Structure 1
Amino acid sequence: MAQLQGLRALKKQQTRQAISDTATRLFLERGFEAVTLTEIAAAAQVSKMTVTNYFPRKEDLALDHHEEFAASLARTVASRRTGESALDALRRAFRAAVERRDPVIGFTGAPFARMVADSPTLTARLRDLHDQREAALADVLAAETAAAPGDLLPGAAAAQLATAHRTLFQYTVDLTLEGFSDRKTAVALDRAAHQVFGLLEGPLADYAVR
């Protein structure tokens, strides 16, 4: 039974990935706004209902890391090391993401970055995901610091930390669109991260230390 369930889960994951890959190819070829769900379903050889079962929103076919993106900052803080502040944990995780060229922080390649930039729908969805990420971080900071109801500090801290990440994400995209290689982008981004996170050292250096 366990083996059968594992095979079913694998099949679902393969189907989901195939739909996502097909959609991304069509979006890159023709632009996000021009491609319909019906066309994606036909190209992926599945029904339109199957597409919407895996991806309720068309935008999520393009931004298929959306769940990981929205949860990333909160997850990093929740799993921070003993003696580590929220700021230090997020800075450490960001630098590791730069090293592995993680798409969650903006390493997507120029064609994909241009496709997103040219789509009002996707840019709006990306702003929404940034907001979701900030809200999730605020919730975790409130829980981790045992903040009283109505305490503004977790939200204020989350806003500063999330803005730092939003700024660095856009910087990554801008460098990519300017034609920088991933290697050159990583070098510039590491330097920028040092400066941006450094601005938060004073107010947040000792905030939410585990």
Structure 2
Amino acid sequence: MSNETGMTTSTPAHDAPAGLRESKKRETRQLISDHATRLFMAQGFERTTIAEIADAARVAKKTVTNYFPRKEDMALDHQEAFAASLADTVASRSSGESALAALRRAFEAAVAAQDPIAGFAGPDFSRMIDDSPTLSACLRGLHDRREEALAHALARATGTSAADITPRTAAALLGAAHRVLFGRIQELTLAGHSGEDIARTVGDEAARAFDLLEPALADYAVA
């Protein structure tokens, strides 16, 4: 890593500009996550210890746990983006576009780009999750969080209470479709299919899945 920090050698670390400190923290966090994920994929999540991760990243064990209080957060380090993804799509939908149409359009784009948020994580990463009860449970929890965030976004979009049954039901239907399609991408990945083949297959299957929701949600939450 570069030593070009813009400071003289006599400047104490705690006097570093705030932006530089934050940049260094992000670098350290990413370094730990990268080494942890590499070890998880090589030897399994449950079998990898915090000490091994710290040694690989050349940091103290306490540094690892300060950045990642939960071990699974090192493997699934884009949780907030995943949990917010459907809600963000609804919030940014175009004028005249329904929530279903916006989510359908966004998923089609994600499949075309083979976006990891949609499930295109590669065979090693997908196998790491599939082989780990802890990571599999964490992923299910993330799907639940994503559905809950979507329900709140739909409530805001329609001017109803978050406790209202309609946005919650709509979020459950839309969340279930995305959950099934995410699982399908993982399934095909683990079966050895290429990203291009998976994109073609899931693109066709997604069209059928979203078509099933059209009668109920085609005119719901139109911007």
Structure 1-normalised TM-score? 0.95
Matched, 1:191 2:219: no
Give the aligned residue type for 2:189: T
**Aligned residue in 1 for 2:153:** 140
1:149: how far off? Answer: 6.3
Give the aligned residue type for 1:206: D
**Aligned residue in 2 for 1:35:** 48
Q: Give the secondary-structure state (helix, strand or coil) at the position aligned to 1:189.
A: helix
Matched, 1:64 2:77: yes
1:150: how far off? Answer: 4.1
Give the aligned residue type for 1:68: A
Answer with 81-90 or 4-13: which moved more.
4-13
Matched, 1:110 2:91: no
Of 214, 217, 221, the residue aligned with 1:201 is 214
Q: How does 1:146-165 map to 2 (within 5 A)?
A: 146-148=159-161, 150-165=163-178
Specify whether residues 48 and 193 from structure 1 end up closer, same or farther in structure 2 by C-alpha distance, changes over 3 A only: same
1:115: how far off? Answer: 1.1
**Aligned residue in 1 for 2:132:** 119
Cα distance in 2 for residues equivalent to 1:95 and 1:159: 20
Give the aligned residue type for 2:91: A
Give the aligned residue type for 1:113: S
Greater Rg over alpha carbons, structure: 2
**Aligned residue in 2 for 1:21:** 34
Question: In the alignment, is the contact (CA less than 8 A) between 2:118 and 2:182 conserved in 1?
Answer: yes
Of 84, 101, 104, the residue aligned with 2:114 is 101
Deviations, residues 46-66 of structure 1 (Å, cap 9, x unaligned): 122222222221111111121
Q: How well do the aligned residues superpose, as a CA RMSD in angstroms?
A: 1.3
Answer with 48-57 or 187-196: which moved more.
48-57
Percent identity over paired residues: 59
Cα distance in 2 for residues equivalent to 1:27 and 1:130: 22
Deviations, residues 32-75 of structure 1 (Å, cap 9, x unaligned): 00011122112111122222222221111111121111111111
Deviations, residues 59-115 of structure 1 (Å, cap 9, x unaligned): 111111211111111111111111111101111111111121111111111111111
Answer with 43-52 or 13-22: which moved more.
43-52
Give the aligned residue type for 2:184: Y
**What is the aligned residue count?**
208
Answer with 41-50 or 102-111: which moved more.
41-50
Answer with 48-57 or 138-147: which moved more.
48-57
Give the aligned residue type for 2:204: R
Identify unmatched segments of 5+ residues in structure 2. Answer: 1-15
Give the aligned residue type for 1:203: A
Of 181, 187, 193, the residue aligned with 1:180 is 193
Structure 2-normalised TM-score? 0.90
1:15: how far off? Answer: 1.1
Give the aligned residue type for 1:38: A
**Aligned residue in 1 for 2:142:** 129
Deviations, residues 154-181 of structure 1 (Å, cap 9, x unaligned): 0000000000000000000000011000
Cα distance in 2 for residues equivalent to 1:28 and 1:126: 16
